[in-house]
Amino acid sequence: MVTLNYKHVDAQIIGKEHGLNVEKEFDNHKGDIERIIKDLNQRKDKQGQWLQWMNLGYNEETVWYVKEYAAQVKGKYENILVLGIGGSALGGIAVTEALLKPYWNLLSPEQRNGMPRIFFLDNIDPDQITGLLDMLDLRKTLVNVITKSGSTAETMSQYMIVKARLEQQLGDAYRNNIVATTDQKTGILRQLADQEGYKTFVVPDDVGGRFSVFSAVGLLPFALVGIDIEDMMNGVKDMDLELKNTDIHNNIAAQNALIHYLMDTKKDKNLSVMMPYSSRLKYVSDWYTQLWAESLGKEENLKGKKVHIGPTPIKALGATDQHSQIQLYNEGPNNKLINFIRVEEFDKTLEIPKIFEYTGIGYLGGKTINQLINAEADSTRVALSDYKRPTVTISIPKITPYNVAQLLYMFEVQTAIAGELYNINTFNQPGVEQAKNYTYALMGRAGYEESAKVLEEKMAVI
Ligand code: PA5
SS (H, E, C) 193-261: HHHHCCEEEEECCCCCHHHCCCCHHHHHHHHHCCCCHHHHHHHHHHHHHHHCCCCHHHCHHHHHHHHHH
d(CA 7, CA 395): 13
Compute, in angstroms, the gap from residue 442 CA to the centroid of ligand 1: 20
Interacting residues of 85 by C-beta distance below 8 A, sequence separation 6+: 122, 123, 147, 152, 154, 155
pLDDT class of 458 with cuts at 50, 70, 90: confident
Q: Find, among 320, 313, 315, the residue nearest to 279 by Cα.
A: 320
d(CA 294, CA 210): 8
Average the pLDDT over 222-248 and give the result. Answer: 98
Q: What is residue 165's predicted lDDT score, i.e. its pLDDT?
A: 97
DSSP codes, 267-322? H---EEEEEES-GGGHHHHHHHHHHHHHHH-EEE-TTS-EEEE-PEEEE--TTGGG
Q: What is residue 67's predicted lDDT score, i.e. its pLDDT?
A: 98
Residues 77-134 have pLDDT tens digits of: 999 999 999 999 999 999 999 999 999 999 999 999 999 999 999 999 999 999 999 9
CA 179 to chain centre: 22
pLDDT at residue 462 is higher than 80 = no
Please state, rounded to an integer, the average pLDDT across all residues of the chain. Answer: 96
> Which of these is catalytic: 306, 308, 323, 348?
323
Beta-strand ranges (E) seen in 319-445 are 336-345, 391-398
Compute, in angstroms, the gap from residue 458 CA to the centroid of ligand 1: 27
Which of 145, 152, 202, 213 to probe ligand 1 with, by most ligand atoms within 8 A of CB? 152
pLDDT class of 323 with cuts at 50, 70, 90: very high
Q: What is residue 319's predicted lDDT score, i.e. its pLDDT?
A: 96
pLDDT at residue 288 is higher than 80 = yes
Segment holding 440, helix H or strand E: helix 430-442
Give the end-to-end CA distance of the chain in Å, rounded to a whole number: 54
Which of 85, 189, 190, 436 to probe ligand 1 with, by most ligand atoms within 8 A of CB? 85
Of residues 452 and 31, the one with the higher pLDDT is: 31
d(CA 239, CA 247): 15
pLDDT class of 456 with cuts at 50, 70, 90: confident
3-42+233-422: CATH topology: Rossmann fold (3.40.50)
Residue 436 CA: nearest ligand 1 atom is 9
Phi-psi region of 356 (alpha: psi -120 to 50; beta: other; left: phi over 0): left
Orientation angle between helical segments 401-422 and 282-296, nearest 10 degrees: 20
Q: Out of 195-204, 246-255, 349-358, 429-438, which region has the weakest mean confidence (pLDDT)?
A: 429-438
Q: What is residue 460's predicted lDDT score, i.e. its pLDDT?
A: 82
Q: What is residue 434's predicted lDDT score, i.e. its pLDDT?
A: 81
Q: What is residue 49's predicted lDDT score, i.e. its pLDDT?
A: 95
Statement: 52-230 belongs to CATH 3.40.50.10490: yes
Specify the pTM: 0.97
Residue 89 CA: nearest ligand 1 atom is 7
d(CA 455, CA 399): 48
> Which of these is catalytic: 25, 97, 154, 294?
294
Q: Out of 240-244, 252-256, 406-410, 448-452, which region has the weakest mean confidence (pLDDT)?
A: 448-452
pLDDT class of 196 with cuts at 50, 70, 90: very high
DSSP codes, 108-175? -TTTTTTPPEEEEE-S--HHHHHHHHHHS-GGGEEEEEE-SSS--HHHHHHHHHHHHHHHHHHGGGGG
What backbone torsions phi and psi does residue 394 show, to the nearest 5 degrees? -100, 125
CA distances from 141 to 102, 144, 174, 196, 285 (A): 21, 10, 10, 18, 28
Q: Find, among 343, 296, 256, 284, the residue nearest to 5 by Cα.
A: 256
Class of residue 100 by CB neighbours under 10 A (exposed 0-12, middle 13-18, buried 19+) = buried
Torsion of CA 337, 396, 278, 359, to 10 degrees: 100
d(CA 440, CA 65): 35
* % of the chain residues with pLDDT over 90: 93
pLDDT at residue 163 is higher than 70 = yes
Pair 391, 341: CB distance under 8 Å: no
- Domain limits, CATH 3.40.50.10490, in the chain: 3-42+233-422, 52-230
- With a 6 A CB cut-off, is 52 part of the ligand 1 pocket? no
Average the pLDDT over 165-182 and give the result. Answer: 97
Segment holding 354, helix H or strand E: none
Of residues 462 and 355, the one with the higher pLDDT is: 355
- With a 6 A CB cut-off, is 385 part of the ligand 1 pocket? no
Q: How many CA atoms lie less than 13 Å away from 372 in the CB half-sphere? A: 14
Average the pLDDT over 13-23 and give the result. Answer: 97
Beta-strand ranges (E) seen in 3-123 are 3-5, 79-83, 117-121
